[in-house]
Structure 1
Amino acid sequence: MSAAIRLDKHLVALIKCSRGEAQKYIEGGWVLVDGVIVDQPQFKILEQKVELHADATLTAVLPRTLLLNLPEGFDVSSPIAPLQLITPETHTQDDRSGIRVLKRHFARLTPTTPIEPGATGLMVFSQDGKIVRKLVEDAKTIEQEYIADVSGDIDPNGLQKLNAPMKQNGWLLPAAKVSWQSETRLRFALKNVHSGQIRFMCTSVGLTVVTMTRLRIGRVSMGKLPPGEWRYLPEDKWF
């Protein structure tokens, strides 16, 4: 029986390339072992069939940003807890980014822009330092959009109050843009969101939040992404 060898070493012999080129092909997701993408150069093979994709290039693998639709009932007290929901199996079939799923895309993901406690909807995890810095440094100016289903009777001039600056635990909250979407649903567009802010605002005018969903961060919206699934941020999109 032949001894197992590293995938990159086997590829060097197979296509007559350098070791460095072999590693770039593998890390780029261009090498298939028995029809399955393997992006680890150190992967050991024996008698498996190894193929190089016909469209293979030596372009460097870019850091990626993943968008998750956080489902109902998930505890986000730990910002990294939702990472367990991001797997190859939960990648939405309707991802139109054209980006191929690689194992390396699940490593070193940084959670950004915390979601309101108890809310569902859009969460962002990124390997891209530029995007992480953008979302952290510009948090005060990047608008977030939520919808909240509410119960109760709103106070007189309650909608006007919701659109005016409020104080929460001594913090002056910037004015929000709040409007009715239906008899029981409010839309919130806010910047520099403080934890618990939407529930606080609603309680202040006699309303109780029943459910809450984040739809958008900056220019990036969740779209029709199903709950519990994720997709890639396309290369031409920016927050």
Structure 2
Amino acid sequence: MTEPLRLSKRMSELGLCSRREADAWIERGWVRVDGKVVSELGSKVLPSQRITVERQASAEQSKRVTVLINKPVGYVSGQAEDGYTPAVALIKAENRWNEDKAPEQFHPTQLRSLVPAGRLDIDSIGLLVLTQDGRIAKQLIGEDTAVEKEYLVRVRYLKPPGKLPDAELKRLNHGLSLDGKALLPAKVRWQNDDQLSFTLREGKKRQIRRMCELVGLKVLGLKRVRIGRVKLGDLPVGQWRYLGPDEQF
């Protein structure tokens, strides 16, 4: 027999919204199960039951913005820490890329609930996504995400004869473990004499730097250039743009 699930969890699984959004919509009476309004938090449903949401929920969701920023060195991805400034502080009218073609007009209310969907450490630059949309956050950082992230990494090999052996490059692709757990297969290849391209489907804390340490490489610079089908492109460092209506990760 199939076990019932919390309604908010099932809505998240179906990609309708995040669990937090689901709870808010349930409280407002915006969620129907098999055509009947369910407004009690913690309600459970069977996977076979049909869940629909009212137009107000869809309209509210459509107003939510997603922002792409080229994060500079020295900014943290999330909450301010140890005196360092969070990347969201760069989201202001004067920092918007003048080539952004998205129709949205910037307003400070868009900063409410604008959270990073994934990390980029303080010493790294490149593509960082901040979103108000729980569906996008789940897509990029949910447990079962399959969205690739691509990085360009400038490195130096610290052992003689000064060049990374092919066997160690193979280990970077598959064969390393962090925190006692094997890493998923990656795609790691040389871009030029001192730069590697890393494509990952997971994002452990400082993962690339730690992978490099395990094979004797020192990271000199790290830049994220792609998340799924969305590329950093020509977006200047420290500037931002909206995710376009025709773009999907």
* Distance across 2 between alignment mates of 1:139 and 1:215: 22
Instruction: Give the SS at the match of 1:157.
Output: helix
1 CA distance for matches of 2:180 and 2:143? 22
Alignment map for 1:1-239 (pairs within 5 Å): 62-76=63-77, 78=79, 81-137=86-142, 140-152=145-157, 153=162, 154-239=164-249
1:84 Cα deviation (Å)?
0.8
In 1: Cα distance, 2:110 partner to 2:153 partner: 32
Letter of the 1:86 partner, please give it.
I
Deviation, structure 1 residue 77? 6.9
What is the RMSD computed on CA atoms of the aligned residues?
A: 2.1
When normalised by structure 1's length, the TM-score is: 0.70
CA contact (8 A) 1:166 1:175 kept: no
Report SS of the residue matched to 1:238. Answer: coil
The TM-score with structure 2 as length reference comes to 0.67
Contact persistence 1:68–1:230 (CA under 8 A): yes
Is this contact kept in 1: 2:90–2:238, CA < 8 A? yes
What secondary structure sits across from 1:188 in the alignment? strand
Contact 1:69 1:225 in 2 (8 A): yes
Distance 2:136 2:129 in 1: 10
Gaps of 5+ in 1: 1-58
SS in 2 for 1:98: coil
Check whether the contact 1:69–1:222 (CA below 8 A) recurs between aligned residues: yes
Task: Report the more deviating stretch, 99-108 or 168-177.
Answer: 99-108
Identity %: 34
**1:102 Cα offset (Å):** 2.5
Structure 1's consecutive aligned runs of 4 or more residues displaced over 3 angstroms after TM superposition are: 75-80
State the secondary structure of the residue aligned to 2:75. coil
**Worse overlay, 86-95 or 197-206:** 197-206
Separation (CA, whole Å) in 2 of partners of 1:139 and 1:121: 24
Pair 1:207–1:75, CA change in 2 (3 A): same
Instruction: Decide whether the 8 Å contact of 1:117 with 1:195 is kept in 2.
Output: no
Instruction: Indicate the structure (1 or 2) with the bigger Cα radius of gyration.
Output: 1
Matched-pair contact (CA < 8 Å) for 2:67–2:129: yes
Residue 66 of structure 1: SS of its match in structure 2? strand
Summarize the Cα distance change of 1:165–1:78 in structure 2 as closer, same or farther, 3 Å threshold.
farther
Q: Is the 8 A contact 2:70 2:237 kept in 1?
A: yes
Alpha-carbon distance in structure 2 between the residues aligned to 1:145 and 1:139: 18
Alignment match, 1:42? none
Between the aligned partners of 1:72 and 1:175, the Cα distance in structure 2 is 28
Q: Distance in 2 between matches of 1:147 and 1:131?
A: 24
